[in-house]
A and B are shown apart, each in its own frame.
Chain A
Amino acid sequence: MTNLEFAKKWAETRHNDLSAHRELYAGAEEFCIETRMVVDHLGDTISTDSEFTEQLAIFTNKDPENGLGVQSVTVTEAFEGNGHLFFHWDWQVEGADTYRGFPVEGKTLVSKGSTFLEFNDDGKIILDSSFVNENPVFQQLGLPLITPHYWEEGFDPASLG
């Protein structure tokens, strides 16, 4: 299996088969999964079997009516390292009622994300660090969020008003 194939297997099992997904990771309390900012590891870091089951369940939701949204991920490229793997993915959510508190109003949300995986000597994941780019999502929801290209030669700060 190439690392790109492993990344695709990670994405496929994360969103369709959490039992198979669990097999990719080391034993309980020998792995950490962090998918958002960590304010407190109790709640923000998944490291036990029960946290794995409870907190990753949302990724496998297939009910477009319950408000939680149906997520899908497509891995686009992978970078292999010594004992680690980093990859980029496209992300899509359909059927979410709200996102970060903002009404979705039937929109399909689209963005990109990345995941870093660190492996132990047995090839099991011991660290999973993931982030999704939320700014395009907020823009799709109509928030006045801007990302001016201030680094481009000739950019005029006055254009920001």
Chain B
Amino acid sequence: MNYAFAVKWLKAFRDSSEAICAMYADDFVFEDPILDQYQIRDKGDLGRIFTLYANKDRTNGLGVHNFRIRGYIGDHKSGLIRWEWSPEDCTNFIGFDVEDKPFFAQGHTFHQYDDDGRIVRESSWWDSGSILADVGVPGASKVAFAAKTPANV
């Protein structure tokens, strides 16, 4: 679509599940494999996914989810939104204690749109691995693979 659409999409995240669900066609496929969300096709399920991102209560541990657009590449039929995310006041993330441990992640979301500009296909992917090092999970490193050295052979 374009940068403005991407900003609208992320502002809808923050508004409500109703606002974000309205941006998807009735016949849609949503996937965010990082959170094990595959082949989501039901608006009820989609709404429950986005409830988390609309949280405004800084005391309930769910966090307030700040997003920024890095850019959009594509046209009105399909394209890639590149974004970054930095939650605040979140206490637990995918099973790890993140209270008072700031972190951020970057990701990309591919969209296909129908003739009315509604999302018919979404595929989101992001860097969760770097977060483990950021929040101090013991042993975590930012380096994916490391060659054996005389010390660790």
| A interface list, Cβ under 8 A from B | 36-38, 58, 65-69, 79, 81-84, 86, 88, 93, 96-102, 112-114, 116, 118, 127, 129, 131-135, 137-138, 143-147, 149-153, 155
CB-based contact B75/A82 at 8 Å: yes
Query: Distance (Å) between the CB of B119 and the closest chain A CB?
Result: 13
1/0 contact trace for B105-123 toward A, CB 8 Å? 1111010100000000101
Task: Evaluate contact between A79 and B145: CB separation under 8 angstroms.
Answer: no
B8 to chain A, nearest CB (A): 20
Asked whether, in the complex, the Cβ of B125 is within 8 Å of the Cβ of A84, the reply is: no
Give the interface residue-count category, chain B: 35 or more
Q: A101-B143, A145-B94 are in contact. Are A84 and B79 (CB under 8 A)?
A: yes
Q: A81-B75, A146-B94 are in contact. Are A151 and B125 (CB under 8 A)?
A: no
Asked if B22 is at the interface (CB within 8 A of a chain A CB), the reply is no
Query: When chains A and B are docked, how far (Å) is the Cα of A134 from the Cα of B49?
Result: 20
List the B side residues contacting A86 at CB < 8 Å.
78, 80, 110, 123
Q: Are A37 and B139 in contact (CB under 8 A)?
A: no
Considering only residues 93-112 of chain B, those with a C-beta below 8 Å from chain A are 94-96, 105-108, 110, 112
Whether A81 contacts B33 in the complex (CB less than 8 A), given A68-B147, A101-B143, comes out as: no
Measured between beta carbons, the chain A residues less than 8 angstroms from B49 are 150-151
Q: A135-B94, A147-B94, A150-B48 are in contact. Are A116 and B73 (CB under 8 A)?
A: yes
- Closest 9 A-B residue pairs measured CB to CB? A101-B141, A67-B148, A131-B125, A134-B129, A146-B95, A151-B48, A147-B36, A81-B78, A37-B127
B133 at the interface (CB under 8 A from A): yes
Instruction: Write out the residue numbers on chain A whose beta carbons fall within 8 Å of the beta carbon of B46.
Output: 151
Q: Is B130 an interface residue (CB 8 A)?
A: yes
Expressed in whole angstroms, the minimum distance between the Cβ of B142 and any Cβ of chain A is 7
Q: Choose among B45, B126, B145 the residue that contacts A151 (Cβ–Cβ < 8 A).
A: B45
A145 near B79 with CB under 8 A, answer no
Q: Which residues of B have CB within 8 Å of A67?
A: 145-148, 152
Cα A143 to Cα B139 with chains together (Å): 11
